[in-house]
Structure 1
Amino acid sequence: MRHTARTALAVAAFSVLPQLAFAHTGVGATHGFDAGFAHPMGGLDHLLAMVTVGIFAYQLGGRAIWAVPVTFIALMAVGGALGISGIDVPFVELGIGLSVVVLGAAVALGVKAPLAMAMGLVGFFAIFHGHAHGAEMPEDASGLAYGVGFMFATALLHVAGLGLGMAIGRFGETHGTRYVRGAGAAVALAGIGLVTGIL
């Protein structure tokens, strides 16, 4: 558990670096960073998926605690570059909605996937999220600053998911796992609502 806490703190510390890097840049870069940071925070689908990636990583434990979120961020950057470049990715909105359903279900069912499979799963869905972020970049924003902004926000949401998983897991020594799975089930149901247009 101490190793888990240290890993989460390290991820949080590294995620602060981009904000410091843009603290004294020009208006265009700052606007780009702010817009990029705000984008993942502005949609329920992005929020649920990214926090659930953190919960999923916590549930898997071990190297997955850092490898799963890092994979998501890396592949999301690829998707973001495609979106900024105007390169089409089919079924983006459906992919985002399904990511909430699948990741929530994985947590709810307590799936103990091999690390490579878990990384592949989150990486696949990250491309859809990244493309949506990139495609919706304001025309007057700096692409680099905007990309750093949404990656920074995503890292914070992953850390929040890790922290939430730890908090729920430690809430009750006997029923902690049940609470984590219940949270996953709630996310999956919300995802179904997003895919069907109810939410």
Structure 2
Amino acid sequence: MKNLKPLLAGALALACVPALAHPAAVVHGHGFAAGFMHPFTGLDHVLAMLAVGIWSVRQPHARALPLAFLAMLFIGVVTGVAGLEIPELETGIALSVAVMGVLIFVAARLPASVGALMLAVFAILHGNAHGHEMPAVASAMGLLAGSALLVEAGRLLGRVSPALLLKLAGAVIAAAGVMLAASATASGIA
């Protein structure tokens, strides 16, 4: 239990980082490197990508889910580049993080079609936000590469971590998602 304290402290510290992976939050370059680094600059994106990887490991069609997620992330980017505005986008993104955390916490196994549909919606939300801020093709390809790396890191964590640690990670991810949703809602009201 002593070894979990630094992990929990680090996770809680990360939860205090502002969400920067959203439209107009920061100015980004438009090359591959800027796109690749972008997924690592927003707590919501980092947690969502890791959670997708962790959760997908124990699902039916576990190998196909991350690829489908990344394909739909690209579709989401295209919708953002095309100018599609999704209402309450920030709140939807934050809630996707919270839902993924809960699914990990309860070790939920969903039917393949339900899991794929859920991940498709989450991917489109995340991709749309990034498409608004990174419209260049090179940055979009970098974004997908960085996101794929985070999803694979999550898959590795999901395969090698003990169940109790995954449960704790799910709880931390869910709590961070709820805090991000509250922040998005509060900024939308102001």
Contact 1:98 1:195 in 2 (8 A): yes
Amino acid at match of 2:69: F
Distance 2:167 2:65 in 1: 18
User: What aligned pairs does 1:49-198 form with structure 2 within 5 A after superposition?
Assistant: 49-60=48-59, 63-64=61-62, 66-137=63-134, 143-168=136-161, 176-197=162-183
Contact 2:30 2:134 in 1 (8 A): no
User: What aligned pairs does 1:21-40 form with structure 2 within 5 A after superposition?
Assistant: 31-40=30-39
Q: Which runs of 5+ in 1 are unaligned?
A: 1-29, 169-175
Percent of counterpart pairs with the same letter?
Answer: 40
Contact 1:40 1:133 in 2 (8 A): no
Structure number with greater Rg is 1
- Measured against aligned partners, the alpha-carbon deviations of 1:51-81 in whole angstroms (never above 9, x if no partner) come to 0000001132x522x2111111111111101
Deviation at 1:186, TM superposition (A): 1.1
Q: Which runs of 5+ in 2 are unaligned?
A: 1-28, 185-190
Amino acid at match of 1:192: V
Q: How many residues end up aligned between the 2 structures?
A: 156
Residue 7 of structure 2 is matched in structure 1 by none
Structure 1 outlier segments of 4+, above 3 Å? none
Distance 2:85 2:183 in 1: 23
Distance 2:144 2:49 in 1: 11
CA RMSD of aligned residues (A): 1.7
